[in-house]
A and B are shown apart, each in its own frame.
Chain A
Amino acid sequence: MKEPITPREPKKVDPEEGAGWRLIGAPSTGKGKRDHRIIKSLFLMDGELAGQNKKLQAKYDAWKKLADFETYEVKDAELVVVAFGSIGRIAKNAVRSLRAKGKKVGLFRPKTLYPFPEKALEKLAKEGKRFLTIEHNLGQMVEDVRLSVRKHADSDLFCVYPGNMPSPDDFEAPILRALGRK
């Protein structure tokens, strides 16, 4: 499932941007005198490499706030289907038609897989909901789902073999099976 795009005006190029790191030649004399700069990603020295790893870890940690997701009919759901991408859209239709039949199911659709919206999933698990992960592979995201909810719940898994394009009807039986399982 594709997210809608938001058009925006690109920022004007600031000719002074990057004055602290850009490479335009290193004057060795005069007013602009400075040491030569190196843009690199190869850090072989002992402490240097550890420093770089720390810096990267801080960056990955900062990404966590970018985690994004969509929920559908989860409020009173007993079972939450977790699915992403095109399978997320198909699962949404399956959930919609099961709701019309009065089944208490909902959908949790991560928009970002990395960072994974683990806090939001954990919150649903705390509320006592059960989970079914549906994936268009043999089970990858399910590992993240299980890690996120591990203190309170587990997740069932239904896999669609890559190469087949399922319809919403194909998901109804597995969802009902998971709903019926206590």
Chain B
Amino acid sequence: MPKTQGAASAPKTNQTGEELVFTRPASMVDRATHYCPGCHHGIAHRLVGELIDELGLKENTVAVCSIGCSVFLYNYIDVDSVEAPHGRAPAVATGVKRARPDKFVFTYQGDGDLASIGMAEIMHAANRGERMSVVFVNNTVYGMTGGQMAPTTLIGQKTTTCPGGRCKDREGSPIRMSEIIAHLGGTAFCARGSLDSVKNIRQAKKYMRQAFEVQTKGLGFGFVELLAGCPTNWRLSPLAANKRITDEMIPYFPLGVFKEVEGDGTCGSMLAPESAPGAEGGK
């Protein structure tokens, strides 16, 4: 049975002896999010909040958010935050971490941000092994600006800038970021989780915990990719969007741990993901 989630302190009980086993994490601000119905950012935010509470990091954390819907993390998570220019969160986080090596520094970025304009920043931050953690929310589309094609958009997926569906010959194949980051020298932990089901959410939280802990242990760069839905820009209902993650995204973006260093800080062997990459998913 899961213990009380969200609250790091003792579980709350009421007069009738009922125990509150699930509530808002203490480090999450009690305020309605601006996200659309069924948007998985809310889940990812909550996991971040729960982990900050469970690891006791709240008073020692500086969050870095860059542009995209995800930039508003700072309105919902009750920690000191910096807003970075589009894609530049890893660069800003590098500065924060180097100025204050004792702080816990994480970035929270979307795929239009991290995998496109911020590609150089994320690659070099990982390669340098900056002691930071990155939460990468991949929903295969630019959400904030109205659903344009992202580097992660699946083959055949229709967006406002590829209305006929993404074509491999014209726009290239979707980028698998976790696989790329896993091959860089400074990466201590790299995994891909998904937010489409309860089981996957619980697993994703374990990955996020590891990505956070490689930083607190000083092992290196922690990266976790979360497959998420964008019902509005996919033109799907929240339930259909969830199904699309299961049916189309996970076959192309396999879940699992891609790299995990040993406890002494030396880079361990590259682990194969649980399932093999699909040939050309997303059709």
| A23 CB to nearest chain B CB (Å) | 4
Q: Which residue of A lies closest to B61 (CB)?
A: A25
User: In this assembly, does A19 line the interface, its C-beta being within 8 Å of a C-beta of chain B?
Assistant: no
Q: Which residue of B lies closest to A42 (CB)?
A: B83
Contacting pair A39 B82 (CB below 8 A)? yes
User: In this assembly, does A58 line the interface, its C-beta being within 8 Å of a C-beta of chain B?
Assistant: no
- 8 Å CB contacts to A: which residues of B81-95? 81-83
**From B67, B71, B80, B83, contact of A25 by CB (8 A):** B80
**From A25, A28, A42, contact of B103 by CB (8 A):** A25
User: Which of B61, B62, B75, B103 has the largest count of A CB atoms less than 10 A from its CB?
Assistant: B62
- 8 Å CB contacts to B: which residues of A120-142? none
Cβ proximity bits B177-206 to A, threshold 8 Å, 1 near / 0 not: 000000000000000000000000000000
Q: Report the tally of A-B residue pairs with Cβ distances under 8 A.
A: 53
When distances are taken between beta carbons in the complex, the residues of chain A under 8 Å from B83 are 38-42
Q: How large is the interface on B (under 10, 10 to 19, 20 to 34, 35 or more residues)?
A: 20 to 34
User: In this assembly, does B59 line the interface, its C-beta being within 8 Å of a C-beta of chain A?
Assistant: yes
Contacting pair B60 A23 (CB below 8 A)? no
Cβ proximity bits B71-110 to A, threshold 8 Å, 1 near / 0 not: 1001101111111000000000000100010010000000
Cβ proximity bits A86-107 to B, threshold 8 Å, 1 near / 0 not: 0000000000000000000000
Q: Which residue of B lies closest to A37 (CB)?
A: B80
When distances are taken between beta carbons in the complex, the residues of chain A under 8 Å from B78 are 26, 28, 36
User: In this assembly, does B58 line the interface, its C-beta being within 8 Å of a C-beta of chain A?
Assistant: yes
Q: Which residue of B lies closest to A22 (CB)?
A: B80
Contacting pair A23 B81 (CB below 8 A)? yes
Q: Which residue of A lies closest to B80 (CB)?
A: A23
Given the known interface contacts A23-B96, A38-B74, A40-B74, the answer about A28 and B58 at a Cβ–Cβ threshold of 8 Å is yes
User: Which of A26, A27, A37 has the largest count of B CB atoms less than 10 A from its CB?
Assistant: A26
Contacting pair B71 A36 (CB below 8 A)? no
- 8 Å CB contacts to A: which residues of B31-71? 58-62, 67, 71
- 8 Å CB contacts to B: which residues of A24-52? 24-28, 36-42
Rounded to whole angstroms, the CA-CA distance of A27 and B59 in the bound complex is: 5
| B70 CB to nearest chain A CB (Å) | 12
Contacting pair A24 B103 (CB below 8 A)? yes
Rounded to whole angstroms, the CA-CA distance of A25 and B82 in the bound complex is: 12
- 8 Å CB contacts to A: which residues of B136-162? none
Rounded to whole angstroms, the CA-CA distance of A27 and B74 in the bound complex is: 16
When distances are taken between beta carbons in the complex, the residues of chain B under 8 Å from A38 are 74-75, 80-83
Q: Which residue of A lies closest to B81 (CB)?
A: A38
Cβ proximity bits A1-32 to B, threshold 8 Å, 1 near / 0 not: 00000000000000000000001111110000
**From A26, A41, A42, contact of B80 by CB (8 A):** A26
Rounded to whole angstroms, the CA-CA distance of A41 and B85 in the bound complex is: 9
When distances are taken between beta carbons in the complex, the residues of chain B under 8 Å from A23 are 62, 80-82, 96
Contacting pair B60 A25 (CB below 8 A)? yes
Given the known interface contacts A24-B100, A25-B61, the answer about A42 and B71 at a Cβ–Cβ threshold of 8 Å is yes
When distances are taken between beta carbons in the complex, the residues of chain B under 8 Å from A41 are 83
User: Could you name 6 residue pairs across A and B whose Cβ atoms are closer than 8 Å?
Assistant: A23-B62, A23-B80, A25-B62, A25-B79, A26-B59, A36-B74
Residues on B close to A: CB < 8 A? Answer: 26-27, 58-62, 67, 71, 74-75, 77-83, 96, 100, 103
Besides A36-B81, A37-B81, A38-B82, 20 more A-B contacts (Cβ < 8 Å) are A23-B80, A23-B81, A23-B96, A24-B103, A25-B59, A25-B60, A25-B103, A26-B78, A28-B26, A28-B59, A36-B74, A36-B77, A36-B78, A36-B79, A38-B83, A39-B81, A39-B82, A39-B83, A40-B82, A41-B83
